Amino acid sequence: MNAPGPRLAAGGTAELFAWEGGRVIKLYWEGATRDAAEREAARTRAARAAGAPAPEVFDVVNVNGRPGVVFEKLEGPLLLDALASEPQRLDEFAAQLAQLQATLHQLRCEGLPPQREHMMRRVHLGPLPARVKPGVIDLLRTLPDQRMICHGDLHPGNVIVTADGAHLIDWFDATAGCPAADLARSCLLLRYARLTTGPQRAAFEPLRQQFVDVFLQCYRRILPEPAEALSEWMPPAAAARIAEPISGQERTALLRMIETLLAAA
């Protein structure tokens, strides 16, 4: 069994270590099951096979009882770090993120699970108040089905900018579905979510609004249709997000938005 090399990064669900052959291993925190690693490996492979800029997956392994995935090492900064160090390039970085998402949204994929079921499960299981849950579920049932690649967590903290262009990591929640749903989720994350715990967090706060505006404007120029359908997808996307361990402040903002949009529908 190989031993991991130096620790390179740490995230919410895992730590990243150097691995033999110039690769990296994403080792899940203790308590994660092998299923989690298998799921991330399978979804990353499926997205890559359909043409998405995702790292190559080499193996799923156990290291001292912790499950891990061995990936190709992507060389370059996170888009979020690039933005934190050069905020004057915001327009360029937001356009890069929009281009990346629009590229995925033009790729069909049969190898990923359906988005609607993924969202429905979260809406059902999450702590959504009973006064809005049925409205969100009814709306989600009526929205169209598609089979395009949806990353499920696309934000600048999951993009590595390499010499070959921007690549996406963290495909754990990827599905095949409607681009507008994935776009809605990205807009919500950019507007309200804590994207990282590091020092980039403070740097991103004052840039949120401008970043999401430029991002959406650029996306709309490339793919107008999903941008048109955005407001329909906002309530279910926000409701699914509420099932995650988010801050009280984010939960309040999302819930207020769901109520306003359902009342206007």
Ligand X SMILES: Nc1ncnc2c1ncn2[C@@H]1O[C@H](COP(=O)(O)OP(=O)(O)OP(=O)(O)O)[C@@H](O)[C@H]1O
Binding residues for ligand X, rule: CB under 6 A, are 9, 11-14, 16, 24, 26, 55, 71-74, 78, 157-158, 160, 169-170
78, interface contact from Mg ion, ligand X, none, CB < 5-8 Å by kind: ligand X
Q: Which of 81, 170, 232, 250 binds Mg ion (CB under 5 A)?
A: 170
Structure tokens at 73: 């090492």
What sign for the dihedral angle of Cα 99, 102, 104, 107? Answer: negative
The binder of 219, among Mg ion, ligand X, none, by C-beta within 5 to 8 A per type, is: none
Min separation Cβ 69 and ligand X, Å: 9
11 vs 135, beta carbon nearer Mg ion:
11
d(CA 66, CA 31): 8
Pairing of strands 66-71, 148-150: unpaired
Answer for the pair 183, 146: CB distance below 8 angstroms, yes or no. no
Nearer to Mg ion, 169 or 223 (CB): 169
**In angstroms, what is the minimal distance from the CB of 222 to ligand X?**
25
Judge whether 260 and 202 are in contact, CB under 8 Å: no
Min separation Cβ 135 and Mg ion, Å:
31
To Mg ion, the closest distance from the beta carbon of 93 in angstroms equals: 17
Phi, psi of 6 (to 5 degrees): -60, 150
Using CB under 5 A, count the residues that bind Mg ion.
3
Residue 158 binds Mg ion, judged by CB under 5 A: yes
Query: What residues from 1 to 30 belong to the interface with Mg ion (CB under 5 A)?
Result: 11
Question: What is the closest distance, in whole angstroms, from the C-beta atom of residue 80 to ligand X in the complex?
Answer: 8
125 binds, among Mg ion, ligand X, none (CB under 5 to 8 A by kind): none
Residue appearing with tokens 């989600």 = 140
By beta carbon distance, the residue nearest Mg ion is 170
Binding site for Mg ion (CB under 5 A): 11, 158, 170
